[in-house]
Structures are given as C-alpha cells and as structure tokens.
C-alpha cells in the first residue's frame, strides 16, 4: 500500500538488500490466489533474502506494505511497516506469512489507499476498523494480534493481494479516484 510522501522519510533499509521490480496491474500474478509458504521456507536464507529485498523495495518505493505477488512471487506473505506519529505506534518492517484475518465487530471506516502496483492513484476504500490477525513470522513462529485503524487497513490491503484482489475492487464507488498530485493538492490539503 502507498501513502503520502510525508510518511516516507522514516524508512531505513538494510544495505545488502536488492530492490525488486514491482509488477503492475495487468500482470496476471496480481490476479492469482497465492500459494501457502512451504514449511521448509521458514528460517531459510531464501525467506530472509526475500524479506530483506521486499523491505528495501517497500522503503524505496515509499510504501507501507508490499505483498509477495507484487514482486512476482505467488506466495502468501507480505511485509508492512507503520511509520508512526503522535497517534500511531511505529512498526518496523515486519513479515507476515500464511496470514488469516477476521473482523472484530462490524465497524467499518473509509480511508484513502494507493498501491505500488497501481502507481499514481488514490481512492477511498471501506475496511474493517478492527481485525484479529494470525500468521507465521520469518522464523516460523505463530503470531497473533489485534490491529485497528491504519494498521488494520494496511494489513487488509496486503492480505487482499494474496487473494488476487486489489483496492479498486473494494471501492464503494470509483468517483473518489484521484491522481496522486491532484489528491495531495485538492483533497489532502483541504483536510489539513
Ligand atoms: Ni497494493
């Protein structure tokens, strides 16, 4: 998932990692259901390398989330980070593999999203406000936590990529779609 430029200054990237090519809408992998991460991948140098490379790519592309299908790896994993501000606690780049999510309660909220595979656009997308997340870590440990608001939105957006779904599919109406520059000029500034 992509955010406004202001959030991108807090990125730190590992040095040996490589920047990967992010595939764009129209590439068939983005519309496939991804395969579970095989057991033997956990803790392997292959998964560590993929994580480092995806984390670097996410940072350099100024994103807050990147799913493996976006770098043409049809695996059920994604990386995400929360830059953190006065209200939100920061989350360093984190890998979640074979995730499961479910809504807590019925509350939904609309928020602006962008996607590194759909560059240059922003749109309003309704998401569950609170979710329960269960997943495996880089080393294969089971993790389970509750996410809300922006973090819940990022995780739902990235999870969708594992199902071949993009945020455009989730929009209530295409009428909010805006190019990034116009969005920053007419919508973001109007909100400040
Ligand atoms: Ni995306």
SS (H, E, C) 31-84: HCCCECCCHHHCCCHHHHHHHHHHHHHHHHCCECEEEHHHHCCCECEEEEEECC
User: What does the alpha-carbon distance between residue 2 and residue 154 come to, in Å, rounded to a whole number?
Assistant: 9
**What pLDDT is stored for residue 78 in this prediction?**
98
- Among 130, 164, 11, which residue's Cα sits nearest to residue 80? 11
- Distance (angstroms) between ligand 1 centre and the Cα of 43 equals 26
- Distance (angstroms) between ligand 1 centre and the Cα of 172 equals 17
- Distance (angstroms) between ligand 1 centre and the Cα of 180 equals 15
pTM: 0.91
| Catalytic hit among 158, 182, 184, 192 | 158
Please state, rounded to an integer, the average pLDDT across all residues of the chain.
93
Domain ranges of the chain: 6-106+128-172
Segment 80-125, tens digit of pLDDT: 999 988 778 899 999 999 999 999 999 999 999 999 999 999 999 9
Reduced DSSP (H G I as helix, E B as strand, rest coil) percent helix, strand, coil of the chain, to 5: 35, 35, 35
Mean pLDDT, consecutive 10-residue stretches, the chain (192 aa), reads 57 72 98 98 97 97 97 98 85 97 97 98 98 98 97 98 98 96 90 66
Domain 6-106+128-172 has CATH 3.20.20.80: no
- 158 assigned to active site: yes
């Amino acid at each position: 998932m992509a955010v406004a430029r202001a959030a991108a200054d807090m990125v730190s990237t590992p040095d040996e990692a490589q920047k990967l090519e992010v595939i764009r809408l129209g590439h068939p992998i983005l519309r496939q259901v991804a395969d579970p991460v095989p057991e033997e991948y956990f803790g392997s140098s292959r998964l560590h390398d993929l994580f480092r490379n995806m984390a670097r790519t996410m940072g350099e592309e100024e994103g807050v989330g990147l799913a493996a299908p976006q770098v043409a790896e049809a695996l059920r994993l994604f990386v995400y980070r929360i830059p953190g501000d006065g209200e939100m606690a920061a989350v360093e780049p984190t890998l979640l593999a074979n995730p499961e999510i479910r809504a807590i309660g019925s509350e939904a909220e609309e928020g602006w999203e962008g996607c590194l595979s759909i560059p240059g656009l922003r749109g309003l997308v309704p998401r569950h406000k609170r979710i329960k997340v269960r997943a495996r870590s880089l080393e294969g440990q089971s993790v389970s936590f509750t996410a809300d608001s922006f973090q819940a939105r990022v995780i739902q957006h990235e999870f969708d990529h594992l199902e071949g779904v993009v945020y455009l599919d989730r929009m209530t109406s295409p009428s909010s779609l805006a190019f990034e520059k116009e969005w920053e000029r007419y919508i973001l500034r109007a909100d400040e």
